[in-house]
Amino acid sequence: MKDKYVHLIYFSPTGTTRKIVDAIAEGLSAAQTNRHDLTYAFEKEQQDIAGGVAVIGIPVYAGRVPEDCLERIAGYQADGVPAVLVALYGNREFEDALVELRDVAIEQGFNVIAAGAFIGEHSYSTPKRPIAAGRPDVEDLRLAVKFGQDIAAKIERGDLETPEIEGHVPYRERVKFGGVSPQTDAEHCTLCGECARACPVRVVTVSDSVTTQAENCIMCCACVKICPVDARPFNHPRIEERRDLLVRNCSTPKTPRIFL
Ligand SMILES: Cc1cc2nc3c(=O)[nH]c(=O)nc-3n(C[C@H](O)[C@H](O)[C@H](O)COP(=O)(O)O)c2cc1C
């Protein structure tokens, strides 16, 4: 694909989706990369994607595409541009996220030619309660690069068919997030503002203290993972319970699934 553009379109609050999207782009080895980081795409604008191939990546939230991703992807219009879809999940399940992403991509005019479900460290993972910690690892990234190479070969062959993708329509019911959020440990917080800058939905404000508008928090944990002094724990009892369940039931490492 040396003569083509690759458009990287992704939402990635804790950076694991981005790692896989980048590795797939490496495998595609296009001449030019256009990056559209939707994580901080606050202003709504309409953009046309033309030529080349697009890689669209989202994290899986409760087996679905997060609502903020849907809204931000809806800002893109493509006239039949081939698209590769990525659902990044925290070693539980990806359920209906990929078929939902397929339907959204088609709605926006993309031609879906490949999809993959990859594993990333779970947003709720902590050093003491690890869930898929360190993923994507070297092997995940190798598989993602190989996936990119295989997609490039598929395009070279002129095969632009949409593969069968695992998942159900109608999609599983959407879970409402928010109401609880990470909290600031005022004793250790240095008011550096990293948490506010990392928040993809702008619910954190830093002045002489840190306030979080919990009702609109999407629980992505970007603020938790970016805090340089570990002063943003997410230890609400509801999250502790969920974390326990994930540690108990989702510790066996899963392998990426490819639909090509
Ligand atoms: C609110 C929420 C819901 C999640 N739901 C799921 C899920 O249904 N299945 C799963 O395996 N992981 C789930 N995860 C974990 C994320 O998919 C995973 O941490 C992903 O790597 C985050 O991507 P990012 O690093 O690009 O932000 C969830 C995470 C959050 C914050």
Q: Are 66 and 39 in contact (CB under 8 A)?
A: no
Among 171, 205, 223, residue at a domain's last position: 171
Largest CA distance in the chain: 60
| 155 and 40 housed in the same domain | yes
Residue 145, ligand 1, Cβ within 6 A: no
Q: Are the C-beta atoms of 195 and 184 separated by less than 8 Å?
A: yes
Alpha helices in 163-221 (DSSP H): 194-198
Range of the domain at 211: 194-248
**Cβ(12) – ligand 1 distance below 6 Å:** yes
Same domain, yes or no: 122 and 24: yes
If DSSP codes are grouped into helix, strand and coil, which group holds residue 130? coil
CB 200 near ligand 1, within 6 Å? no
Residue 176 predicted with pLDDT over 90 = no
- Find the CATH number of the domain harbouring 211: 3.30.70
Ligand 1 touching residue 13 (CB < 6 A) = yes
88: its two tokens: 């990044």
130 with 167, same domain: the answer is yes
Residue 188 lies in a domain: no
d(CA 240, CA 259): 34
Query: Is residue 179 in some structural domain?
Result: no
Read off the pTM. 0.98
Using most ligand atoms within 8 A of CB, pick from 65, 89, 232, 239 the residue to mutate for ligand 1.
Answer: 89
The residue out of 171, 206, 232 marking a domain boundary is 171
* Confidence tier at 43 by pLDDT (50, 70, 90): confident
Torsion sign over Cα 113, 62, 60, 253: negative
17 within domain boundaries: yes
In a domain, 185, yes or no: no
Give residue-wise pLDDT tens across range 204-257.
999 999 999 999 999 999 999 999 999 999 999 999 999 999 999 999 999 999
Structure-block tokens of residue 43:
């202003």
Q: For the chain, what's the residue count?
A: 260
Q: What is the pLDDT of residues 15-34, one digit of tens each?
A: 999 999 999 999 999 999 99
126 ligand 1 Cβ < 6 A: no
**Ligand 1 center to 103 CA (angstroms):** 20
